[in-house]
Structure 1
Amino acid sequence: MSLNSKYCDAFLAVAETQSFEAAAKVLNLTASAVTLRVQSLEKSLGQVLILRERPCKVTHTGQMLMEYLQSQRLREQQLLQQFHGLDTDEFSVLHIATNADSLATWLLPTLSKLLLQEKISLKFQVADQSQTHMLLETGKVSACISSQSQAMKGCQTQLIGAMTYRMVATPDFIQRWFNHGLHRESLRKAPAIIYNDQDQLHSEILLTHFGLTQQSYPFHYIPSSTAFAEAIFAGLGYGLVPDYQIADRIQRNTLVEILPECRTDVKLYWHHWKQQSPALQQLTTVILEQAKQHLNHPISS
């Protein structure tokens, strides 16, 4: 048995748009035609792939198929670029995963010249640095910035540096919440700023040093690197911020490092497939060279 490409295209369009109607517009078909193709694929596999809800959701089996098809599509794009090259007016497309802090600070300034000169279009997926590796493993991206050091099969990895995080707060925040000292009880009452539920750095520090679980203190989830930092700058809470965003504020004393002993270096690695398209090779070269100027450099890898 083989997978019918038209059926798979219909399924993937529904899975990615979460709608039969939207998928129909993408494929220039009627919604009923898309429905029939997805039904035929489900029948041939003997599995339900799409839950007909609003929005549509993929089943566990559907998720497996979607990841496989996305991986195949990405590899096909790269292979065609290697075989045929690109017309002078055509952009090459790369799918990259990165942590939000890299994207908000050093990454785009590092790549901007290359992207414009070589006509490279980047499709970013953002996840916690401990999770981006999974996007490469499932074939959703061609390369990623990750805190994972181990290369997966068929890929290469290189240490590019480290981002240093400091636990900081404004002087006014410290006066209000830590006026009688920074200790377990004061931390139980002071509001923290945490990026999202995948961000474990903050909670691990408070658990390790003060025995506090995340349920023991108030916190805000702010899943935007820029808004996250701005919330701390505005005195809404305290939190871990990379040096890149706060060095000048520390020098001007508009921010204070409240737990110097909890300063954390997060090593970052560049992962990519061994077989790279020319565009990905260029991107890899620039990141390996330019990261030296923007990231700290731990002694060991």
Structure 2
Amino acid sequence: MLQSKHSEAFLAVAETGSFELAAARLNITASAVTLRLQTLEKQLGQVLIIRERPCKVTQSGQEVLLFLQHHRLMEQNLIQNLQGQRSNSQFFKLNIASNADSLATWLLSSIQKTLIQEKIIIDLKIDDQSQTHHLLEAGLVNACISTESIPMKGCEATLLGKMSYRMVATPQFIQHYFQHGIHRNALRNTPTVIFNDKDHVHIQTIQQIYGLTANMYPCHFIPSSTAFVEAILLNLGYGMVPDLQVKKELANGKLVEIMPEARLELELYWHHWKQQSIQLECLTKTLIEQTQSLLN
């Protein structure tokens, strides 16, 4: 019953207090505003506006006004959630899910120019690379970086490249814990550094090579990529880290690879809905271009 053009006319008169100002807002004539308002009042069986100078809203009109203003706000919020832009802002908001290692190494530097040029602000959700696509599936993000290669229905997945990981420790740590080599019994009594309980990269690697599950050796859980590496450098444990994050430390000898057989390459995919906003299309194009050299 509340047809949009009739409701818009009522809102314009109620908010401006004048049929002439309402007509200017809607870019129509004052007589057209009058006709639309009369039609709405006839449909509702109530007088909504007292024709005075300025116009006043009746008690019934107040109820309709509050409803329409609330409906308008809900519509604006919906558009913001779907398109990422508020009517009073020049910036577009995108919700992105990423693994912590990508964020700590290459992600922000890769998309910096596009974020600035396209006036994009991002809300980053951090999770394990094997779990981020669930956030997309739940509708909590617009796109994600994931190790999952198969896109869900309505989405596309593009290979970004590979991140290489290796198991490292400091020379001092190796001298203290691995004087007689690295073997199953030694690892049982050697502390390791793990990102969190979703860090399947480390846990599965040790289990595959040495048959040890996570409850069979001491673990530090440090859910920060930078603090994670710092903990290893402070001799708190050994750990699996991306090459991109410790190139300098490996080159100057502060860190040493201790298990060449544990080297791992993880393929990363960019998942997004097939129907994208222009801003997300730009971000997608940038990521694919930048990672061709960074992750290959």
Determine if the TM-score, normalized by the shorter chain, exceeds 0.5: yes
Number of positions where the alignment pairs a residue of Structure 1 with one of Structure 2: 222
The alpha carbon displacement at 1:116 in A equals 1.3
- Distance of 2:76 and 2:213 partners within structure 1: 43
- Within the alignment, does 1:289 sit opposite 2:289 as a pair? yes
For the pair 1:219 / 2:222, whether they are aligned, the reply is no
Maintained 8 Å contact 1:156/1:271: yes
Residues in 2 aligned to 1:124 and 1:77: alpha-carbon distance in whole angstroms = 17
Paired residue for 1:203? 203
Secondary structure of 1:290 counterpart: helix
- The CA distance in 2 between the partners of 1:195 and 1:273, in whole Å, is 29
Say which SS state the counterpart of residue 235 (structure 1) adopts: coil
**Offset, 1:204:** 0.8
State the Cα RMSD in Å. Answer: 2.0
Distance in 2 of aligned mates of 1:282 and 1:118: 8
Matching of residues 112-191 of structure 1 within 5 Å: 112-191=112-191
Structure 2 CA distance for partners of 1:206 and 1:104, relative to 1, 3 Å = same
CA 1:203/1:89 → structure 2, altered by over 3 Å: closer, same or farther? Answer: closer
Q: Which moved more, 1:197-206 or 1:125-134?
A: 197-206
Q: Unmatched 5+ residue regions in structure 2?
A: 1-74
Whether the 8 Å CA contact 1:74–1:140 is kept in 2: the answer is no
CA distance in 2, matches of 1:149, 1:295: 16
Identity of aligned residues (%): 52
User: Is the contact made by 1:145 and 1:271 (CA closer than 8 Å) also made in structure 2?
Assistant: yes
SS of residue paired to 1:159? strand
Instruction: Map Cα deviations across residues 197-243 of structure 1 (whole Å, 9 max, x no partner).
Output: 11111111111111111111101000011101111111110000000
Q: Does the 8 Å CA contact 2:90/2:119 hold for their aligned counterparts?
A: yes
Q: Note the alpha carbon deviations across 1:119-155, whole angstroms, 9 max, x for none.
A: 1010000000000000000000010000000100000
Structure index of larger Rg: 2
**d(CA) in 2 for partners of 1:211, 1:238:** 17
TM-superposed CA distance for 1:76, in Å, is 3.8
Q: 1:77 aligns with which of 69, 80, 87?
A: 80
Q: Are residues 269 and 80 of structure 1, via their aligned partners in 2, closer, same or farther at CA, if it must alter by over 3 Å?
A: closer
Unaligned 5+ segments in structure 1 are 1-71, 297-301
Paired position in structure 2 for 1:48: none
For 2:182, give the aligned amino acid: L
Query: Residue 136 of structure 2 contacts residue 143 of structure 2 at CA under 8 Å; is this kept in 1?
Result: yes
**TM-score in terms of structure 1 length:** 0.70
* TM-score for both structures, normalised by structure 2: 0.72
Return closer, same or farther for 1:94/1:80 CA change in 2, 3 Å cut-off.
closer
Cα shift at 1:75? 7.2
Deviations 1:175-202 (A, max 9, x none): 0000111111111111000000111111
SS at match of 2:275: coil
